[in-house]
Amino acid sequence: MHNKSGFPTTHVLGFLGSLLMTFLAGAIALKTSLSFSAIMWIIGSLALLQAGLQLFMFMHVNEGDARKVQLLNIAYGVFLALVIVVGTIWIMSGLHQHH
């Protein structure tokens, strides 16, 4: 979405939001005394928020007539990524137990 002057306001806001989340994750990782597990949960949550922000701000998922198809494609991609990650962890932990 551009305002009347043609300046891409939403793109700049999305970029600044992404930078903020990246620096926040780095600061949490380097400067806090939280447990490793808590830090990983916070960084993972910030990563998911940043991915969602980028999909809506830069990829324009919520625009156009094929909005439902785009969201379905994203859900399918997330499903495939989860199957690959969980399957890899499952296989690797099974191999580790048999060795």
> pLDDT (tens digit, 9 = 90+) per residue, 55-73?
888 877 777 777 788 888 8
Residue 61 tokens, joined: 């998922």
pLDDT at 4: 67
* Closest residue by Cα to residue 18 from 47, 60, 59, 61: 47
Asked if 46 and 29 touch (Cβ cutoff 8 Å), the reply is: no
pLDDT lower than 70: segments of the chain: 1-4, 96, 98-99
Query: Distance of CA 21 to CAs 7, 53, 64, Å?
Result: 23, 10, 28
Angle formed at CA 73 by CA 92 and CA 61, multiple of 5 degrees: 120
Report if pTM > 0.85: no
